[in-house]
Structure 1
Amino acid sequence: MTGPTAAGPLVGIRVVEIATFIAAPGGTHLLASQGAEVIKVEDMVVGDPLRMFGSSRGGMSGWFANLNAGKRSLCMDIASEAGREVMADLLATADVFVQAYRPGVAERLGIGEADLRKRNPNIIYVSISGFGRDGPYSNRPAYDAVIQAWTGIAAVQGGDGEPQFVRSFVPDKVTSLTWTQAVCAALFNRERTGEGEHVELSLLDAAVSFMWPDSMMEQVVLADDADHRPNPLYGYKLLGCRDGYVAVMPLTDGQWKSVADAFDRPDLLTDPRFAEAGSRAAHFSEMLDALGDVVADVARDVVVERLIAADVPVAPALRPDEVATDVQVQHTGVIREVDHPIVGRIRQNRPAALFAAGTPELRHAVERGTDTDAILAELGRTPDSIAELRSAGIVK
């Protein structure tokens, strides 16, 4: 894994990223995993702070090592006149540019959409913001926690109790998936028409759109005479066993009968609340409570074994330290152990989507500025001019 291999449907596509943390870098990592060349432009002072979050070694966190694998790194002061000239030359060669500044900042730096189209009219330009280009919140800072609170995600997790965060950066990652899908659509359209595109999105819009169909389903149908029912997701719960927890979801009549048979509980079939699928849906939370009573004194793995044998949807609630060693996870290879030259031995996730034509073998995430000289040389800078930029503190 010393360098990228030419594989994947996006081979030949150059992506330039100026962003930190997750919403943009997560998407560029995904594009790299599909064959794109990704150049990550970082500042001269800190670069991407994600290097510092979580377990780390040699100045690089495992989080950064996973999310920035497959990228090249250019370290440069883009606010300087010389840095702007280099950026202009670099972006003239790009197919996609993604930035995650607050509205107006890219324009002040001379890398707004209109600036880029003067030399690269067909570029796919991506603008990511917290709350959108305009509106009453447009200039506010936003991180994942802020968006989880503002979009109702935390309230949904808390149900009837106190709001709770999802302990995963869901808005950031949903934003990543949303803009990368939009970019692929824009690239496809460019192949047909030759026209570039400006893809704009906010963490707020991406999170609301993601949550709305199911988590907010009780807010959808507005007619007073509609059959209004509580959101069944508020009844979602794990069932406590003797030594752990399980998720059980017997939605069909056949699966419900199989649960009753597996635990010798015929009373589950005669209870009018659970007699058929419609009544179980109406008493969803009570159904899970009844199942909880069934499995409370049984070992977790025994519950799983019995219900798997009965062809009932079930899973153990694996702890984080159990996931990588799960036999199916090991079989698919979605998590593998690799040796990183800086961080050492790490567990790394591969892309979930595989292509029959091949999937690139990504290079390791690198130190800030590792590829500065090579990228500048590709842009026509001579060794002497690169040395001058470095001595002037423009690049690293």
Structure 2
Amino acid sequence: MAGTTGAVEVTVVGIGEDGWDGLGQPARAALAAADVVLGGARQLGLVAGRVRAVEAWPRDLAAAAAALPDSHAGKRVAVLASGDPMHYGVGGTLARVLGPGRVRVLPAPSSISLACARLGWPVEEVAVVSAVGRPYAAVGPQLRAGARVLVLTGDKDGADRVGALVAERGLDAEITVLERLGGPRERVSGPLREPAVPPHDRLAIVAVHCGPGPSDEARAMASRVPGLPDTTFATDGVLTKQEVRAVTLAALAPTPGELLWDVGAGSGGITTEWLRADHRCRAVAIEPRADRAAHVRANAERLAGAVEQTAGLVAGAGGLRVVEGRAPAALAGLPRPDAVFVGGGASSPGVVETCLAALRPGGRLVANAVTIETEAVLADWHRRVGGRLRRIAISHAEPVGSFTAFRPALPVTQWVHTAPADGAAAAV
């Protein structure tokens, strides 16, 4: 597409392993008319001799994409991408930085579609996880009885890594490795019962079909409804208990892409279940003790597939950050939250004030108390700014001699406050 000085318009062309021969006429025309074609070395090799000029993307693709209006002003630019450019591809990056009106996308069949075609799996019944430049931990939460999962790998031992996650959850599964789909060197290995397979191409798809009969823990972990059993977590005992956790998550009401502050995170039960609600959810867990912060990281990785991101949290991409410090000082400089849970420290001076001031319009603050002193603090906040105040009492049946009786747990007082949608700050 022709650009003008100071602007650039881009055509993104999806290309498969069959190269130029597999392209439709519109894609061929766009490449032939382009002043320059950008892409990875492998994609550029597929059109060698067919286009005017080529440039390989630098390592920082996002920065290069943002610089296109200056670096390629007035040029007709085409970009090559593997398969469907809008599925974990450069098409999405370009649309974000340039605007969708300046990006034309001509997709080819994605590797996901080709893999499902080879396996006979309906695409809508398949979970897809990318481990290309991302942690394999994200695969774990998708593994459940009967699940069909496609993992995009970025390592030659990707199948072994996926197999280890399957074994960790006590599942019986068939594993198939699919390489170079749609081209003359296509290879499909499997299905295999043994997770260990010969090394495969770095960029491959590992397909997992889980069988029935998981362990009780794996069955519980497969559910996305909040309230995982307490025994599922690594903890020293400082954990919001199952029933109260379920009620608390309902009050926090996570939605895709939202950010949670978990203040006084303990073992990270609330953080973990918030992240499990949707892969785009983000959380900052604030915990002063290093041993408990380690539990937060371990639980979030094993149960939510979330690995800590030290470079910050990208909106819409999901992720976890753990801050080892004490509120309110540790809250300084954090991105504004959509929801805040105060599980510890609500009675400390400045904690609730700081959290209320930071909430986005329409954001939710939920604070739990088990002591009379903290309960009094929450009752005072309820009097001052409103919200909902409730007491949660849970009893469990336990043996009493040869009989059974209900033994009550410590009651929990919960305050739920919603920030005004117009952005007006609470009168604190």
Coarse TM-score class (shorter-chain normalised) = under 0.3
Structure with greater proportional strand content:
2
Calculate the TM-score normalised by the size of structure 1.
0.26
- Ranked by relative contact order (alpha carbons within 8 Å, sequence separation 6 or more), the top structure is 1
